Chain A
Amino acid sequence: MTPLDQLLLLSALTVVVPLFTGNRRITGPLATLLYTGQGLLLLRMAGLGYGSETPVSSAVSLQVLGLELHWRFDALSWFFALITIGAGLLSSWFASGEWAQRYRDSGSSLRLFHAALALNVFTMLVLLASGELLSLFIGWELVSWASFLMMSLGSNTALRYAMRYVTYAFAGAMAVLMGLVLVYTRTGSFEFQAFRDAVPSMDADTVWLLFGLFAAGFGVKMALLPFHLWQAKAYAETPGPGAAFLGAISSRMGLFAMIVVLVQIIGVARLVELPVPFTFLSGRDLLAWVAVFTIIFPTFTALRQHDARRLLAWHGIGQGGYMLLGILIADDLGSAGGLMHVFNHATYQAVLFMSVTAVIHRTGTSDLNKLGGLVARMPLSFLAMLIGIIGLAGLPPMNGFVSKWLVYRALILEGSPLLFLGAVIGTLGTILSVYKLIHNTFLGQLRLEHVDIEEAPSSMLWPMMILSTVVFVTGYFPGLVLDWIASVQAAVGLPVLAHHLGGVHIDKGGLDMIWVVSVLLAGFGVGALVFLSGNRSKRVHQLDNYAGGHFLTADTRYQYSDNFYPGLMHLIGPWYRKSFRWLEGGFVSTVDTVSQLMQGLYRHTHPAFYLLAVVVFALSWVMGGD
């Protein structure tokens, strides 16, 4: 039994255990413990993450229909598995204490929740371990349906969007299946290596077809434009810790598969050679532009949300664009940035979802228009969210800055100013909307109904604090993550990024986060000194205030949080997002019309007429040969 087998076995066990322990209090801690075990087993394979070992293969292999199925872990899988298990561990921890009690009391099945979470982790590990295209597809489908299970645990709205997700995901899966069967008929094998060997001899049309099928199929899971409509609401309505988990890692599985097929096998170089007809673009440029629009549109959609979870979920879509963009640059800097963003995004996105869930746990709402001023009541949650949004906005000293910097830098060096511009516009939107998030939740006037609430329970705070620490530490010492990235790059066949603990050193201006953060901290220190040495401020109650010469009573709103950024909204509001809705709606109504036509076909008054018709057609076709 190889370490990989042990890991998968333990992961499978984690699925089974909640089914037996059921709705008891012990389920959460037990699951957390099991995830810790998985983490430890994964760390035993740490050599993969540091690039010193050959892939760990599983002892299990199957021969079905003459097709060989096998599984293995390389550095890429290890990297994604680390994030997966980490997210699973912390989400499960988060879902152990008071949250579990509340969830159970509301009549939902804790057993099902923990089993679904563990199933997600397990299926993702299976996907990550896939050793050829067929097991990749199997893993892919397992992941899709596991996350469908997770989503459908939520409200009716979640069920509706989960339904939408299934439609998109299965259509995407069919595209992938078509692609890999095409590969099989060309190569006679599902092995990665056989595919890779066959790519140079394929003509442009075939590569285009495969590229389109795989990119569309995997893109659905990543919620690339125009297949993004399902994701935000489906994730947002999932039960809190589940949303944290899905937001952190689920849609990155699409990226993983895309890296495997488009980067590792077909190769970005081949995509660059593919011309888009009638334009000067290449296949890669096309996808890169899709990535950029995936950054821009969902990010500005996020800006319009007034539900904290939806806002975050829309951002999750946008951030995926950075990762894809970085990886498509395919040089050492860009791909490192893209890969690192996967890790970074998982950390801060989980923190943000958790902190929002903590707020919901205490206040019962995630409507940004009904919150405010909670910083005085939930300071630690505030701190977690603050760290999270700094990471999300890509500002120093958090880790989001490093990965985005790498991507920007690579774009500039590669000479794609327009793509760069698009990415920056996206970041602008991010900054605006995360400010809206933290302002409306924690800053401003405390609502009367929230006066008595307390800080989130410790079972929630611990995961948040741990993740916040990770966000900060990997921002301070990005070299910790870049070590793993480098071995992933080696495993995938990309140029390896030369780096050090503080960042990278390149000729045209490197990045040393130790220095940057230290200066920043020093600046904060100076500021704090100035602040402390100034006049002592007087502490007043938040409601002890007046305006226009009148004292304000507690029930007067003197600070409003709805209709944020009215000018900007007025500017961008009318002409985005609707178009995709329209696209989807148009497609659905086309199917509907055709479907009605077909039903009409089966409603013929006189079915014998068809018999005559088909006999005449078929006879004239077969007799025509004579």
Chain B
Amino acid sequence: MDWLTLIIVVVMLASAVAVLLLKDFLAALAAFSVVSLGLSVLFVIVRAPDVAMTEAAIGAGLGSLLFALALRRLGLWRARDRG
């Protein structure tokens, strides 16, 4: 269990850093989804199935969908961050 937790936390934090560092917005969005999914697995581990479902549905699912739509409308679908 500890190992699983540790791996998930590490993956989650690494993806979080990736969200900030990836130049490609789409890739960042993917990393963001990974963070959300990792989080929802963590929620399962801490015995919060309701929250896990919510995080998966709203955080990872709907949130990513919103971002995806917005990126598309913003014209950032394939754009790279120069800054």
Q: Are any A and B Cβ atoms less than 8 Å apart in their complex? A: no
Which B residues form the contact surface with A (CB < 8 A)?
none
